Structure 1
Amino acid sequence: MTDTLPNGFSHDAAEHYRRLGVWNGDTHWKLFRRTVEARPHAPAAVDAVRSLTWAELDDTVARAAAVLTRAGIRRGDRAIVQLPNSVAYLETVFALWRIGAVPVFSLPAHGATDIRHFAAHAPATHYIGTAHPNKHLGRVQADLARPLPDGRTLTTVLVDDRAVEPWPADGPSPETPGAPEELAFLQLSGGTTGVPKLIPRTHDDYLYSVRASVDVCDLRADDVLLVALPASHNFTMSSPGILGAVQVGATVVFAPGPLPTEILPLIEEHRVTHLALVPPALISLLNYPDRAAHDLGSVRTVWVGGAKLSEAAARRVRPELGWNLQQVFGMAEGLVNYTPLDADVAEVVATQGRPMSPYDEVLVVDEDDNEVPPGTPGALLTRGPYTIRQYHRAPEVNARSFTAEGFYRTGDIVTFVDGVLTVVGRAKDQINRGGEKVAPEAVENVLLTHPGVHDVSVVGMPDELLGEKVRALVIPRDGAPGPLKPTALKRYARGQGLASFAVPDVIDIVDEFPVTGVGKVSKKDQSLQRPASSPEA
């Protein structure tokens, strides 16, 4: 027996949560099978080409498991999943859980550098991607033909997610699901110094978070959930998300993305009752000039998270859309907070909610880890039954990210008064671009490999729609052949495998960086100021 479970919990801590009944021995495969048996003929999953009942989905999951088994995936294997929103995504994930394999969730925006890191660090044996890659995903898939640093090459499985029958093969379809305390999947955390960290979740801890989310939300059987954000996001998966819909037997409708033109027709056609958005997507919807042409009266609740929603935008939701707003503040590592559905308007529009579980522990501390008085801004630390206590295979990061008592250092600056959290800012050097976390150092390291670049400083710059954009200030190298062009640097960054959301939105060619009064580079000044005559961006 190892000293800890994959999520870092000691065996004593795990037993404590079992005695409380919050870890109840459930698994993702059991969750799926219960709903199949309870609602076999109810609609389960819909995308642009298919609509399946729960019984039909159970059959296609079994066929997917046969395909993945023939590709060599076995119980305990790690498989990177990089698929667009589709029914095929759902089939792939549950097929892996049927086999007892471990999905490594990646976003369609992740680049080859990220995917190769996941493959080496998980470690993964397989990559499951779309048979219809865009230019970005085409580069990723081409790069995976190269061996990894340890000499291995991933086995690639391409799924025709636009086909009516993407799983044509029959044959053996093993049912060897993992145990409740075993690793269920690896999720991704935005990092401050490089590629994302891997977050280990067990069946027991993660499914408790799903049940707790369902308890404080109004998602029920016969409801219709629209999945517009990337399906593999923690927010989209569990708050209450896709797995919440599976738990209650609601229908999951997949949208290709969160643009108004992508989601408004689907809301009207499928009588959507719930959807989750990041603030930029909500603001785009509020400002969309042709919104009134669509019947949106079926929607009861919109969940908004991933970044802080401005109070001004929050106040517009009920009057302009007629929907309940439930703010969600959480992290893939664990703690999730919701504004209660029955909260007064002031709490809904101006705070980020209350911890969803009575077993969530929250500390707000100063720089010396001393608790601050209620209402005083401080660093948020948290511990509880669904908050991990270690990252996957990252001892040095774990030493910085967790206290000796198992509290996770979130990097958020908050106030906490009468059980209500309000986000004030971030302590970490991290850019939150529309809910996607970008590590400035990772972007800098890529641009610094360009032969014409002398130095780079990457910062977040305020943006009304995204919250922050990625801005790079680049000092050219003396004697470089030809002038540096921002558009060429962007192409270079993409070609080096940088995630598409991390490619700088703005690149300014400068002679020097702003400095503080003590001579240090001032990233604050860089984020707020721009040269009077900025070059091509």
Structure 2
Amino acid sequence: MTTTPDGHTPWPAEFVDRYWTAGYWRGNTLDDLLRDRALRYGPHTALVHGDTRVTYANLNRRVDRMAAGIRLLGLRPGQRVLVQLPNVPEFVVTAFALMRAGVVPVFVPLPYRADGVSHLVRATQAVGYVAPSTYRGFDHTAMAAEIAAREPFLRRVFTLESPDSPPPYGGGFTTDPAGCHYFPLGSVDAPPGPALAPGADRVALLFPSGGGPATPRLVPRTHEAYAYQARAAAEVVSLTRDDVYLAALPAGSDFVFGCPGIVGTLSVGGTVVLAEDADPAACLPVVERERVTVTSLSPAAVRAWLDAPGPARCDTSSLRLVQVGGAPLDRETAERIGPAWDCRPQQVFAMPEGLLVLTRPGDPDGAVLTTHGRPLSPGDEVRLVDADGEDVPDGESGELLVRGPYTARGYFRAPGENARAFTADGRLRTGVRARRTPDGNLVVAVPDRPEPAPGTLRQNEVMNGTRQLIGSGSPLEPEIGFSRAVRVGPYVAVAGTAPIGDDGATVGPGDVHAQTVRCLDIAERALEAAGASLDDVVRTRIMLTDVTTWREAARAHGERFASVRPVTTFVEVSRFIDPAWLVEVEVDAVLP
């Protein structure tokens, strides 16, 4: 399995001919797409973020000038730059400007910290890093300085500035002791020069996939393959220039960037509305104000929207399609979408490697509610195989293998991993099990490589391959480096939950039973965000500052687990972080 100089495994000549003949590939780059749409739809609104509105003409002009600024600063075609930005217009401008300059953006999930970002810098030999100077209490600039001191490739940091940019490197043209240069992102600007002409078969961008945030694999996606994916997905959902797409999940995920997402919406001249998280209090008014027609959510975010207090005060009648992906969608939640919002759900299973399975808007309700639908392309070649590599009959579960016109043929500069993850005939071993229904739809059992997506707990769920991280939104999580819960395959571990109310105050001061009930409420929400329930719990640990009060905690435990009966342990501890806390609870679960 050979790789090209830009680190991707090319399709064999017979497949290149096949995909061109079928019309899947048309020699288009993602940059071509934006240039063409700017000419067609110049005054039409391309991006919305809060009160900011960017037309197609303005977007193309900003991309042109930033691309020229990138080249002026010495970045060369084929080099890689990490992009770790929230859902703001600068994310879209930066991604397309890098591609226009021939530089490859590497999309980095916002929750990644020093270990994960350092790994990506080393793996890609990234020469640049784009991030907010600080964001929601985390100092990205200081982290970049630490990484630059260790990694010789990283020599340019571009910061999206905020009024409280921290010294010493945020907010100016500066150089740190390691020789890394820091530039405000807004200063990367120059008069446009002659347009470059990158080949459509070259790598357009890189997505992390699997391995967890410390050691993610990297998926190279070429221009023509990704342009086809976004275009075909836009056709499946019947996107037009009249559509308004709300990007509420992370824009740098494949699900939101190109399924059809941002790229698909821009490809038809529609409008992309950017929201920095999927919190219903923030998003539902945006749906009403901007007349959003299509959005992409995780099941946890869907439940949060449906359960939001007073949603009737927001007019959601403009919605016609809600894509749901990133984790299994339970039927009860799926059935609530239509009556609540008068629109249809669309089940989506997406992988950074490229496979996209989705229900169609015209599918029967049974298929939409219980399956993930069919592969995106007629060119997708899907096999479901047993442990011996033999095809399984319809209705039986097997590992999903796939190759096709938009699925990568290998990971970025990873020959050993490619030998394990791809078959001799070029099929990706997805690591997920699925079954095929008699009508040809797929039911994916456990998504092993879902995308970054928010969860119920303040919309901060992160999906990294076989590792699903679920956050509570606490500012301590990135500082300490922990998650509220972690799911790996069928296993779910929930961290010690404290009796904290939604207002941040301690629940039930002096009342062990009330505090235990609150701890179990939080644990249950975390389990639901991981696709599990209390019925799946196999172990609990109850920690008390006074073990003589164990019966009060046990009473709350029995109210939840009388029929489940997991193994449990009561232990006494000297104290918790907050002296008002009398109990914390840990939970482990295994899905069937």
TM-score range, shorter chain: 0.7 to 0.9
* Offset at residue 427 of structure 1 (A): 7.3
Contact 2:293 2:320 in 1 (8 A): yes
Look up the match of 1:339: 359
TM-score by length of 2: 0.73
Report the equivalent of 1:117: 119
Contact 1:374–1:416 (Cα < 8 Å) also in 2 = yes
Q: How many residues align?
A: 471
2: distance between equivalents of 1:49 and 1:322?
Answer: 27
Q: How far did 1:172 drift?
A: 4.6
Aligned to 2:155: 154
- Please give the alpha-carbon distance, in whole angstroms, between the structure 1 residues aligned to 2:275 and 2:469: 30
Whether 2:422 is the aligned partner of 1:419: answer no
CA contact (8 A) 1:191 1:439 kept: yes
Matches within 5 A, 1:88-237: 88-138=90-140, 140-148=143-151, 151-160=152-161, 166-167=186-187, 169-173=189-193, 175-191=195-211, 195-237=215-257
**Do the aligned partners of 1:41 and 1:55 also contact (CA within 8 Å) in 2?**
yes
Distance 1:184 1:93, change over 3 A: same
Correspondence for 1:304: 324
Structure 1 position 74, deviation (Å): 2.1
Q: Does 1:404 align with 2:405?
A: no
In 2 relative to 1, CA 435–318 (structure 1 residues): closer, same or farther, beyond 3 Å?
Answer: farther
Query: In the TM superposition, what whole-angstrom CA distance separates every residue of 1:134-189 from its partner, at most 9, and x where no partner exists?
Result: 333435334233221xx4333111123899x9357443555314210111111111
The answer as to whether partners of 1:226 and 1:254 remain within 8 angstroms in 2 is: yes
Give me the whole-angstrom Cα distance separating, in 2, the residues matched to 1:185 and 1:340: 27
2:374 matched residue in structure 1 = 354
In the alignment, the residues of structure 1 paired with residue 540 and residue 493 of structure 2 have an alpha-carbon distance, to the nearest angstrom, of: 9
Task: Tell me the distance in 1 between the aligned counterparts of 2:316 and 2:10.
Answer: 44
The aligned counterpart of 2:301 is 281
Kept in 1: contact 2:298–2:324 (CA 8 A): yes
Change (3 A) 1:173 1:131: farther
| Distance in 1, Cα, partners of 2:243 & 2:448 | 39
Conserved 8 A contact 2:462-2:468: no
TM-score, length basis structure 1: 0.80
RMSD between superposed Cα atoms in Å: 3.4
Asked whether the 8 Å contact 2:112–2:213 carries over to 1, the reply is no
Q: Cα–Cα, structure 1 residues 377 and 304, in superposed 2: closer, same or farther, change >3 Å?
A: same
Q: How does 1:39-78 map to 2 (within 5 A)?
A: 39-78=41-80
2:290 is the alignment partner of 1:270: yes
Q: 2:39 maps to which residue?
A: 37
Contact between 1:472 and 1:507, CA under 8 Å: does it hold in 2?
Answer: no
CA 1:123–1:225 in structure 2 vs 1: closer, same or farther (change >3 Å)? same
In the TM superposition, residue 67 of structure 1 has moved relative to its aligned partner by: 3.0
> How far 1:468 moved relative to its partner?
8.1
How far, CA to CA, are the matches of 1:214 and 1:442 in structure 2?
29
State the secondary structure of the residue aligned to 2:191. Answer: coil
User: Identical aligned pairs, as a percentage?
Assistant: 35
1:391-411 C-alpha deviation (Å, 9 max, x unpaired)? 011112111111111111111
Query: Quick one: which amino acid aligns to residue 160 of structure 1?
Result: E
* Letter in structure 2 aligned against 1:155: R
CA distance in 1, matches of 2:97, 2:407: 26
Contact 1:315 1:349 in 2 (8 A): yes
Give secondary structure in 1 for the equivalent of 2:377: coil
Aligned to 2:369, the other structure's residue is in SS state helix
Correspondence for 1:364 among 378, 384, 395: 384
Question: Alpha carbons of 1:330 and 1:428: their partners in 2 closer, same or farther (altered >3 Å)?
Answer: closer
Q: Look up the SS of the partner of 1:242 in the other structure.
A: helix
1:360 deviation in Å?
0.7
Q: CA deviation at 1:72?
A: 2.6
SS of 2:148 mapped into structure 1: coil
The residue number in structure 2 matching 1:383 is 403
* Distance in 2 (alpha carbons) for counterparts of 1:427 and 1:273: 29
User: Match of 1:518?
Assistant: none
1:471/1:142 CA distance change after superposition, 3 Å: farther
* Counterpart among 220, 237, 260 of residue 280 in structure 2: 260
Q: Measure, in 1, the Cα distance between the counterparts of 2:274 and 2:448.
A: 35
Paired letter, 1:154: R
Instruction: Report what 2:81 is aligned to.
Output: 79
Larger radius of gyration: 2
Change in Cα spacing, 1:430 to 1:187, as seen in structure 2 (3 Å) is closer
Cα–Cα, structure 1 residues 86 and 415, in superposed 2: closer, same or farther, change >3 Å? same
- Contact residue 279 and residue 307 of structure 1 kept, 8 A: yes
Contact 2:48 2:274 in 1 (8 A): yes
Match of 1:523 in 2: none
* Contact 2:349 2:450 survives alignment (8 Å): no
- Partner of 2:205, secondary structure, is strand
Q: Is contact 1:108–1:137 with CA below 8 Å preserved after alignment? A: no
1:116 positional shift: 1.1
Tell me the SS of whatever aligns to 1:166.
helix
On the 8 A contact 2:350/2:450 being kept in 1, the answer is no
Summarize the Cα distance change of 1:405–1:167 in structure 2 as closer, same or farther, 3 Å threshold. same
* 2:499 alignment counterpart: none
User: Which deviates more, 107-116 or 193-202?
Assistant: 193-202
Q: Secondary structure at the match of 1:144?
A: helix
Partners of 1:154 and 1:241 lie apart in 2 by 32
Provide the rounded CA distance (Å) in 2 between the counterparts of 1:407 and 1:102: 25
1:110: how far off?
Answer: 1.0
**Equivalent residues of 1:431, 1:459 under 8 A apart:** no
Separation in structure 2 between the aligned mates of residue 431 and residue 250 of structure 1, nearest angstrom: 24
Q: Judge conservation of contact 1:3–1:11 (CA < 8 Å) in 2.
A: no
State whether residues 469 and 486 of structure 2, in contact with CA within 8 Å, keep that contact through their aligned partners in structure 1.
Answer: no
Q: Is the 8 A contact 1:43 1:251 kept in 2?
A: yes
Judging changes above 3 Å, is the alpha-carbon distance between structure 1 residues 428 and 252 closer, same or farther for their aligned structure 2 residues? closer
Amino acid at match of 1:400: R
Higher relative contact order (CA 8 A, sep 6+): 1
Structure 2 letter corresponding to 1:54: Y
Shift of the alpha carbon at 1:425? 2.7
Letter in 2 for 1:425: V
- 1:182 to 1:391, Cα distance in 2 relative to 1, 3 A: same
How far apart are 1:357 and its partner, in Å?
0.8
Structure 2: gaps (5+ residues): 164-170, 172-184, 456-460, 471-484, 497-528, 531-538, 544-565, 572-582, 587-592
Q: 1:436 aligns with which of 456, 459, 463?
A: 463
Q: CA deviation at 1:430?
A: 13
